[in-house]
Structure 1
Amino acid sequence: MKSSIVAITLMALFTKSFDPQPELINKGNSWNKNPVIAHRGAWKKNNLPENSIASLKEAIRLGCYGSEFDVHMTLDSVLVINHDADFYGLHIAQVTYKELLTKKHPNGENIPTLEEYLKEGIKQKKMKLILEIKPSKNDPERDQKLTDRAVAMVKKLKAKEWVDYISFSYDVLKRILVLDPKANVAYLNGDASLEKLKADGFYGADYHYSVYQKGEWFAKAKELNLTINAWTVNSAEDMKWLLKNKVEFITTNEPELAFETIRAVQSGN
């Protein structure tokens, strides 16, 4: 009996140690208390289409802290969810939304619009929605239009509490903070210091995990009250290293493995 109580207590303390910093979390909904962010939804294990409503629902079912998704804009300015710039051979920026509807995911889904995706995501109150804005290669005006429309849609649907923003474009993230100064934004490219992110009002760094293997990122982030997210982490070994450094978030194609690894670390393995 005593050993069971001790085990439960230790697990509770361990889980608490991996909670995102309390002062950095939006208030209101009761977000899942784990570091797991499903990259493009939870798609891999069950062979679901990436960035589909089905993979979003599976991430919700698994109890992930968040589900990441990528936003593009069509020729007629409809915001859609897809990782790549192409959707089954159609270049999203060069075709209309109606043209995109001529193609379907293998499970029969249409490409989701941002509006459809958010409406599905905010039906629940446990999992965050990690909205990545995909910038163009050399069209800042288009990037701003995409950004403005994305933030406007989040506001329209009253989804602000659910949504955090990420991007490889520093300018896109700064634009988001102009539109919504209270938004959580994190930079993906790995070339900005934590001090710069803090000075510009960012929520944290969201860099490839290899970036954090050089330097004192974790201690400095906590000192600056910033979060650390690592992408895209698909091996148990790398997950364990990040967990032992008390990383706030792990973005992965293998959320099931991430949960297994968390349990293994909790049990001392």
Structure 2
Amino acid sequence: MTGDKTQTGDKPGRLDVSALTLRFGGVTALNEVSFTVEPGELMAVIGPNGAGKTSLLNCLTGVYRPQTGSVRLGAVELAGRRGRAARAGVARTFQNHGLFTGLTVLDNLLLGRHRLTRTGIVSGALWWGRARGEERAEREHVAGIAEMFELADVLHEKVTALPYGVAKRVEFARAIAMEPKLLLLDEPVAGMGFEETVAMAGHLLDVRERFSCSVVLIDHDMRLVMDLADRVTVLDFGVVIAAGTPEQVRTDPKVIEAYLGEEE
């Protein structure tokens, strides 16, 4: 991989979330949530525990079907369409990494390339013809991604042998291997120390420099959010209580009262 700006497939469309409402029985997890993410923009979604942030990501990926509202990435409707999000170019990381722990780092990164491969089932199973050349090319591609995320030294190690922070980096790298148009990061620095957080922030800046994907970031680390986000949306009890630039949100009285506190 080079330092040049890299396109992740077609140019990403705008993410439009409109009037999204999600209920579980009598509990409203999201209530008329609306926001947009422009192509190439980094939008942070913050709020206290239980605000509905992870439920929101589950709606964006089609895991949860909202009762009302729309989630559109470009011209593609994602709300309630499980499986369509990956095909549309949406990649996601999880609070606790969702890696295949019995596989190596290399195998996990190659799985991130699965939707982009063209080999048929038979030729892939027999590893002949186009399948052989395609696998070589994919291995070279993910080796470049591993280098970018400082994973080259652990490429052939099983995920179970990795420290927590390194495993989080592997999951981030696998998401980038998918060449996403929209990248959803669910607490990428949760449980990390200061140095690991700084390193992860550096990787996120690198991704923004090299790739054209839009990013939705959820995290409780306010220094990370305020330093990296273009705009911030604040949820509280499933309702958007503020939205704007980091500085606008930081000084909003409703946000201070509900989440940041006077010291922030």
Is the TM-score greater than 0.5?
no
TM normalised by structure 1 equals 0.35
Higher strand share: 2
Pick 1 or 2: higher relative contact order, CA cutoff 8 A, min separation 6: 2
